[in-house]
């Protein structure tokens, strides 16, 4: 190995890559402009939608209002609700989002209240639809308060204390440190996004520095130089690795900054309304992630980035053109995403078996580290296996670079 030669190749590739618009777009433009744009844009739209949904009165249809005149009157008087005339096709109207919810009072409802068998009120809603869900919540809350009022009145009439209906209160208190709460919330998501970014960042340079060079005819020019092929491949590998790590780091930094910025902006009234709470909470979670956990994630991701850079260079090297390389490399994204997703699934735990499955093991151990769990035996095994896989990929890459049938594939 000649570090002088490796550095010469690396800095040339760096200059060349930084002048390439396509690389600049994937490595710098997307993280610095697109990610904040998406986060702020999505935050703005969501805040607007939620605010509008909250300020708008819930359109509700009362079926069988004559069976519960007092409650129906209460709903009509409540400014949160806008009562529309009853119609037989109310289910269709909910499905078509004409009205948000409908409430049905069965025949003999008022009389049934004081009978031993409590009558049922049915709320019809559109599951998964935001406005309908909000309407159902408001209606349910109104009906629960109304029922509690009836109970309290009944107890007062009989001279009984209100505690008969509520003999005790139930409260819950979080004992987990804030960083563990954040870790649990984002533990599965962070490694997943890191793995994808790592792969995306390495893809374009790997293809350009191998298949792209073959296609443009510069590979043969380079091979004519006295620098050994090991040094050439290491220079190219370091460039691919740099692009991968830069994309990942820049994307994560911009993601964190944008999330915090968006949370403050929307919570501070930039977007206003009820969405602010949700956004503010998200930003809070970002701040609650254990910094040691994040450092651990970065340490574990380095051999993974090496594996991706060397693996992608090896695969791209087989191609004669950039286009051919794309057809080999693109399906690999699915090969990487699937084990990364597996690590985020509930029920998949870190065991000695899963600790040896590449990518899944990283996803699982990162989730644990971000939750404040440091299982050093697993961490050592996973880091060791990652280093081994990365070394194998790099060895294979150097070997392929020395094969005439690969480099001069006709």
Partner 1 sequence: MIEVVNLTKTFKDKKRGVVRAVDDVTFRCEPGQIYGLLGANGAGKTTALRMIATLLKPVSGSATVAGYDVTKDGAKVRAAVGFLAASTALYGRLTAREMITYFGRLNGMADAAIRERVRQLADELDMHDFLDRKCDKFSTGMKQKTSIARTLVHDPAVMIFDEPTLGLDVMTARAIVRFVKDCRDRGKTVIYSSHVMSEIEKLCDRIGIIHDGQLVAEGTLSELQQRYAETDMEEIFVKAVGGEAALAAAIEKQL
Residues found near partner 1 in the complex (CB under 8 A): 5, 8-9, 12, 15-16, 19-20, 216-218, 220-228, 404, 408
Cβ(24)–Cβ(250) under 8 Å? no
Cβ(51)–Cβ(271) under 8 Å? yes
User: Nearest distance from residue 224's CB to partner 1, in Å?
Assistant: 4
**CA-CA distance, 187 to 285, in Å (whole number)?**
11
User: Nearest distance from residue 371's CB to partner 1, in Å?
Assistant: 45
User: Nearest distance from residue 217's CB to partner 1, in Å?
Assistant: 3
Beta bridge partners of 122: 104
Q: Whose Cβ is closer to partner 1: residue 52's or residue 403's?
A: 403
Under 8 Å CB-to-CB from 395, ≥6 apart: which residues?
Answer: none
User: Nearest distance from residue 30's CB to partner 1, in Å?
Assistant: 20
Residues 36-62, buried b or exposed e (16+ Cβ, 10 A)? Answer: beebbeebbebbeebbebeeeebbbbb
User: Nearest distance from residue 214's CB to partner 1, in Å?
Assistant: 10
Q: Tell me the residue length of the chain.
A: 410
Q: Whose Cβ is closer to partner 1: residue 18's or residue 335's?
A: 18
Q: DSSP code of 123?
A: E
Q: Whose Cβ is closer to partner 1: residue 13's or residue 104's?
A: 13
User: Nearest distance from residue 1's CB to partner 1, in Å?
Assistant: 13
Cβ(103)–Cβ(138) under 8 Å? no
User: Nearest distance from residue 40's CB to partner 1, in Å?
Assistant: 33
User: Nearest distance from residue 215's CB to partner 1, in Å?
Assistant: 10
Beta bridge partners of 104: 63, 122
Task: Output phi, psi for 133, to 5 deg.
Answer: -65, -40
Q: H/E element holding 94?
A: helix 90-95
Q: Whose Cβ is closer to partner 1: residue 234's or residue 364's?
A: 234
At residue 328, the 3 state secondary structure works out as helix
Q: Whose Cβ is closer to partner 1: residue 395's or residue 408's?
A: 408
Beta bridge partners of 103: 62, 123
Q: Whose Cβ is closer to partner 1: residue 20's or residue 56's?
A: 20
Task: Output phi, psi for 344, to 5 deg.
Answer: -95, -10
Q: Whose Cβ is closer to partner 1: residue 220's or residue 281's?
A: 220
By CB neighbour count within 10 A (0-12 exposed, 13-18 middle, 19+ buried), where does 32 fall? middle
Q: Whose Cβ is closer to partner 1: residue 128's or residue 226's?
A: 226
Helix axes 130-157, 69-77, angle to 10 degrees: 120
User: Nearest distance from residue 250's CB to partner 1, in Å?
Assistant: 22
Q: Whose Cβ is closer to partner 1: residue 4's or residue 55's?
A: 4
**CA-CA distance, 238 to 306, in Å (whole number)?**
9
**CA-CA distance, 183 to 80, in Å (whole number)?**
38
Cα–Cα nearest to 311, from 249, 247, 352, 359: 359
Q: Whose Cβ is closer to partner 1: residue 227's or residue 348's?
A: 227
User: Nearest distance from residue 229's CB to partner 1, in Å?
Assistant: 9
Handedness of CA 82, 87, 88, 92 (dihedral sign): negative
């Amino acid at each position: 190995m000649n570090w002088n030669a490796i550095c010469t190749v690396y800095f040339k590739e760096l200059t060349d890559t930084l002048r390439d618009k396509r690389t600049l777009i994937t490595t710098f433009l997307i993280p610095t402009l697109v990610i904040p744009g998406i986060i702020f844009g999505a935050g703005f739209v969501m805040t607007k939608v939620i605010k509008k949904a909250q300020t708008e009165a819930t359109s509700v249809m009362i079926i069988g209002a004559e069976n519960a005149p007092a409650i129906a009157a209460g709903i009509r008087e409540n400014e949160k609700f806008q009562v529309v005339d009853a119609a037989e096709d109310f289910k269709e109207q909910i499905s078509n989002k004409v009205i948000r919810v409908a409430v049905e009072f069965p025949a003999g409802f008022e009389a049934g209240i004081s009978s031993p068998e409590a009558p049922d009120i049915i709320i019809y809603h559109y599951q998964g639809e935001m406005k309908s869900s909000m309407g159902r919540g408001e209606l349910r809350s109104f009906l629960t308060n109304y029922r509690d009022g009836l109970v309290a009145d009944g107890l007062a009439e009989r001279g009984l204390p209100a505690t008969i209906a509520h003999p005790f209160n139930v409260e819950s208190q979080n004992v987990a440190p804030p960083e563990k709460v954040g870790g649990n919330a984002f533990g599965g998501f962070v490694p997943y996004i890191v793995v994808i970014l790592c792969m995306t960042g390495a893809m374009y340079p790997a293809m350009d520095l191998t298949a792209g060079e073959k296609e443009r005819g510069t590979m043969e020019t380079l091979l004519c130089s006295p620098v050994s092929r090991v040094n050439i491949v290491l220079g190219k590998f370091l460039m691919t690795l740099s692009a991968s790590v830069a994309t990942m780091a820049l994307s994560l930094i911009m993601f964190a900054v944008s999330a915090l910025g968006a949370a403050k902006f929307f919570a501070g009234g930039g977007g206003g309304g009820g969405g602010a709470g949700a956004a503010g909470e998200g930003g809070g979670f970002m701040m609650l992630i254990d910094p040691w956990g994040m450092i651990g994630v970065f340490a574990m991701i380095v051999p993974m980035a090496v594996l991706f850079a060397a693996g992608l260079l090896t695969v791209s090297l087989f191609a004669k053109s950039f286009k051919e390389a794309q057809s080999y490399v693109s399906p690999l994204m699915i090969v990487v995403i699937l084990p990364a997703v597996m690590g985020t699934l509930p029920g998949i735990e870190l065991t000695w078996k899963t600790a040896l499955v590449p990518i899944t093991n990283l996803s699982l151990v990162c989730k644990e580290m971000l939750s404040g769990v440091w299982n050093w035996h697993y961490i050592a095994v996973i880091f060791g296996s990652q280093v081994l896989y990365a070394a194998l990929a790099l060895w294979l890459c150097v070997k392929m670079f020395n094969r005439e049938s690969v480099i001069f594939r006709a």
